[in-house]
Amino acid sequence: MQLDDVIISKAIVENWSKDLIEYLEVDVAIVGGGPAGLTAAYYLAKKGVKVVLYERKLSIGGGMWGGGMMYNKCVFQNDSKPILDEFKIRYKEYQPGYFVTDSIETVSTLCLETIRAGARIFNLISVEDVMIRKEEVTGLVLNWSAVDIAHLHVDPLTIQAKYVIDATGHAAEIAKIITRKISKKLLTETGDLLGEKPMWAEVGERTIVENTKEIYPGVYVAGMACNAVFGGPRMGPIFGGMLLSGKKIAEVLLAKQKGSSN
C-alpha cells in the first residue's frame, strides 16, 4: 500500500474538526489538565456527563510529571488511596500513611483512564475570556496557545457550557478573568482572589478540599486554584488533595445536574 501525504493531512483535519464541533456545546468545561482537572473529568464522564477539558500546554498533567524538584516521584496520603486504587495506579507505602508513586505512570494512567471514561481533551488551547449572560458564566472563549504566546491579534472561538471548572492551578486563571472583566464579585470574603499562602502541606491538603466549591454563578474551582482563590497554603509535591478535590467537584456537579433534572 502506498501512503498519500494529503490523505494523512485530511484524516487529521477532518477528525479533529469533527471533535471540536461536537464539543462546542457541553455540560461541563474544565480549564486545566493537571491532576484535579483530570480527576474531575474522569468522574463526570464516567457518569455520562458531556465533559471537555482544555490544556494550554502540549502535555497533560500539570506539575505532576516532575514530582518534587524533578525527582519524578509523587506522594499521596491515606485519604486519596481509594482513588489510586480505582485508577489502578501502583504505589508503595513509604511510612504509615505515606504512599509513593511513579509520576510518569501516575499522569499517564490518569490521562488514559479519563479519555477512556469518555472525556474529550484538547491540548494547546488557551482560554482567554468567559461568556457571561445575566451575571452567570455560560461558556468560554478559546484560542490557540501559540497565538497567546506570540501575542498575535487573532480572534477567538467560543463554546457553551452549563458549568465551568477552573483547574488552572496556582494561577487561578478563570477566577482572575472574572475579577478583571466584571470587578470583585467572586464568592469570597472580599469578592477578589484572597491569594495563595506559603507552603504548609498539612493545612493545604485539608483546605484544598474544603475550598473546592462554587466561586461565581456557573463557575467552580478544583485543585490548587482553590487555595489561590480562598487563601489557603500551597502544599508542594503531595498530590492526594488534588485527586480528592477533583472527585469532590465532580460529585458537586453531578448532584447539581441531578437536582436540575428533577
pLDDT score for 186? 97
Tens place of pLDDT for every residue, the chain, 262 residues? 999 999 999 999 999 999 999 999 999 999 999 999 999 999 999 999 999 999 999 999 999 999 999 999 999 999 999 999 999 999 999 999 999 999 999 999 999 999 999 999 999 999 999 999 999 999 999 999 999 999 999 999 999 999 999 999 999 999 999 999 998 999 999 999 999 999 999 999 999 999 999 999 999 999 999 999 999 999 999 999 999 999 999 999 999 987 776 6
Distance CA(205)–CA(232), nearest Å, equals 9
Distance CA(160)–CA(231), nearest Å, equals 29
- The torsion angles phi and psi of 208, rounded to 5 degrees, stand at -60, -35
Q: What is the DSSP string of 219-254?
A: EEE-THHHHHHHTPBP--SB-HHHHHHHHHHHHHHH
Distance CA(183)–CA(22), nearest Å, equals 33
Q: Going from the N-terminus, what domains does the chain have, and what CATH number goes with each?
A: 5-69+116-257 (3.50.50.60)
The residue behind cell 478559546 is: 142
DSSP tag of 199: P
CA pseudo-torsion sign 53, 202, 240, 210: negative
Alpha-carbon separation of residue 65 from 61, 79, 96, 101 (angstroms): 7, 21, 24, 11
What is the CA 64 to chain-centroid distance, rounded? 13
